[in-house]
């Protein structure tokens, strides 16, 4: 009885010719890949023989990369005597009885015999926990196995994939925004969203704060968003959007939206998980770019929520940009110099070339309005697109416009650059830079907004 594939298939259903070596361990990323990989390994045994196959499975990168490898196990009713004929993580164990191989679900070899000996299938899936050679931990593994005669002994040949998005496996060191940003792929994106969904299910609405601000879930262009089934934003890590309530999201279904009126929110609600493709504003570059997103339906406090994330087309990645802002005294209007703002890998760098200021540290912020009138009052408050209402400094989770303090030497000169890791040039354009009379303790206590006091210098950030 065959409950699997009879030959190796690509994702579109076409037969993959194993002879062209396009099916390799390094190319495996999902369960469908594993099926093709096992079929090609089976054909390799038939073509090359047992000795060469054992050598190749243990030594050649085509068959062995990271956590992906080919194994061959004996099928016998005497499960404690079952042997591993091919086991690349430790070839010294090959040919030796394993004894009971137990995990939280039972005995692995007993399940192999049940499938191949009792049920009598020729190929299929087996699920168990096993040591991942890439991490050194016992992790859930789904393996595809296929009946094989190994030099006259009943056996199975197989390979498996470890899942990083199951309960208990979403390790912060492995699934995070930095990894998705640097190596974007549909598989990594799905892992990222599924792990975030589990965090949301565990923490409920109290977990939203971390999902929108913690560096694990937010980095450069990568962020999470949550929608109700009507398409309204419940939360988002996009610094340019409202954090809570009613905001029209980038995944909106209006006739003039990116999906031209198609109800993709309804699709996500009905199917539970779905991939979306559209154009959206990249918060890292400020440009409209093509985006691939993945959304998953969860239920929190009895209400369905679609949580999602996405990555932008690498082909449309922006060049580094810069902007020079002229700074004037708010009282006299005299020009004090300029500040060069540049995008870097670590955030926006602000390089001042200023004179005429009092010595010491000064509060330095991005303010909402591009208007320095009325002694700087027309600039409005600190730039706070997430509506946090909290002054926490450049490394906090409050105002995005909270910059590092500006240092002025004894001669009234400010020339020391500062870097704001959460800010990009695109955040500054169309706003204003403000320098305060006093310092900044990055807190609203004991005085609001860091206690910087009067607005002594201001500049409008425009192209």
Same domain, 29 and 124: yes
Asked if 308 and 346 sit in the same domain, the reply is no
Same domain, yes or no, for 453 and 434? Answer: yes
335 and 443 belong to one structural domain: yes
Residues 198 and 331 in one domain: no
Domain shared by 293 and 352, yes or no: no
Task: State which residues form the domain around 327.
Answer: 322-461
Report if residue 169 sits inside a domain: no
Q: Is residue 7 part of a domain?
A: no
For residues 85 and 215, membership in a common domain is answered with no
Tell me: do 152 and 212 sit in the same domain.
no
Which are the contacts of 27, defined by CB distance < 8 A and separation ≥ 6? 33
What CATH number is attached to the domain comprising 112? Answer: 3.30.450.20
Report the pLDDT value the prediction gives residue 151, as an integer from 0 to 100. Answer: 93
How many domains does the chain fold into?
3
Considering the domain boundaries, does residue 3 fall inside one?
Answer: no
Intervals of the chain under pLDDT 50: 1-15, 242-247, 315-320
Over residues 315-361, the pLDDT tens digits come to: 444 444 789 999 999 988 999 999 999 988 888 999 999 999 999 99
* Domain stops at, among 300, 316, 332: 316
CATH code, domain carrying 384: 2.60.40.200
The verdict on 303 and 329 lying in the same domain is no
Q: How many CB atoms lie within 10 A of CB 91?
A: 15
Query: Residue 54: inside a domain, yes or no?
Result: yes
Residue 239 lies in a domain: yes
Last residue of a domain, one of 104, 131, 162: 162
In a domain, 68, yes or no: yes
Nearest to 440 by CA among 454, 453, 426, 451: 451
Specify the pLDDT at position 319.
46
Residue 364 lies in a domain: yes
Q: Are residues 144 and 209 part of one domain?
A: no
Instruction: Mark whether 292 and 230 lie in a shared domain.
Output: yes
Note whether residue 5 is domain-resident: no
Phi (first) and psi of residue 127, to 5 degrees: -120, 130
316, 342, 377: which is the final residue of a domain? 316
CA-nearest of 29, 33, 297, 65 to 184 is 29
- Rounded CA-CA distance 414/432 in Å is 18
Question: With contact defined as beta carbons under 8 Å apart, do 133 and 90 qualify?
Answer: no
Beta bridge partners of 303: 300
Threshold 0.85, pTM exceeds: no
pLDDT at position 20, please?
A: 60
């Amino acid at each position: 009885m065959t409950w699997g594939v009879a030959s190796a298939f690509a994702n579109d259903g076409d037969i993959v010719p194993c002879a062209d070596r396009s099916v390799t361990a390094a190319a495996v990323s999902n369960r469908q890949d594993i099926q093709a990989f096992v079929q090609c390994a089976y054909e390799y045994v038939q073509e090359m023989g047992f000795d060469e196959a054992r050598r190749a499975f243990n030594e050649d990168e085509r068959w062995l990369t990271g956590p992906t490898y080919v194994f061959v196990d004996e099928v016998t009713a005497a499960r404690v005597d079952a042997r591993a004929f091919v086991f690349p993580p430790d070839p010294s164990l090959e040919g030796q009885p394993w004894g009971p191989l137990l995990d939280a679900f039972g005995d692995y070899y007993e399940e192999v015999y049940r499938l191949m000996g009792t049920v009598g299938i020729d190929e299929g899936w087996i699920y168990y926990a096993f040591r991942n050679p890439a991490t050194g931990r016992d992790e859930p593994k789904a393996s595809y196995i296929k009946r094989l005669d190994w030099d006259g002994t009943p056996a199975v040949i197989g390979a498996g994939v470890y899942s990083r998005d199951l309960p208990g496996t979403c390790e912060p060191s492995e699934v995070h925004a930095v990894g998705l940003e640097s190596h974007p792929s549909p598989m990594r994106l799905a892992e990222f969203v599924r792990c975030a969904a589990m965090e949301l299910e565990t923490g409920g609405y109290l977990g939203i704060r971390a999902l929108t601000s913690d560096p694990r879930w937010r980095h450069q262009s990568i962020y999470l968003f949550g929608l109700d089934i009507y398409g309204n934003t419940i939360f988002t890590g996009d610094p340019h959007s409202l954090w809570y309530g009613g905001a029209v999201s980038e995944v909106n279904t209006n006739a003039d939206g990116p999906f031209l009126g198609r109800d993709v929110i309804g699709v996500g609600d009905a199917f539970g998980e779905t991939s979306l493709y559209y154009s959206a504003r990249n918060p890292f570059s400020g440009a409209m770019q093509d985006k691939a997103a993945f959304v998953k339906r969860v239920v929190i406090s009895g209400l369905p929520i679609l949580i999602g994330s996405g990555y932008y087309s690498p082909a449309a990645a922006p060049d580094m940009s810069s902007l020079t802002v002229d700074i004037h005294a708010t009282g006299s209007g005299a020009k004090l110099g300029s500040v060069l703002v540049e995008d870097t890998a670590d955030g926006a760098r602000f390089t001042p070339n200023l004179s005429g200021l009092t010595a010491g540290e000064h509060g330095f912020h991005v303010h909402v309005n591009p208007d320095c009138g009325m002694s700087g009052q027309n600039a409005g408050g600190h730039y706070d697109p997430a509506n946090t209402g909290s002054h926490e400094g450049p490394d906090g989770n409050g105002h995005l416009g909270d910059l590092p303090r500006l240092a002025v030497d004894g001669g009234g000169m400010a020339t020391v650059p500062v870097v704001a890791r959460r800010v990009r040039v695109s955040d500054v354009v169309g706003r204003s830079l403000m320098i305060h009379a006093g310092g900044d303790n990055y807190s609203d206590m004991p005085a609001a907004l860091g206690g910087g006091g009067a607005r002594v210098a201001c500049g409008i950030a425009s192209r």
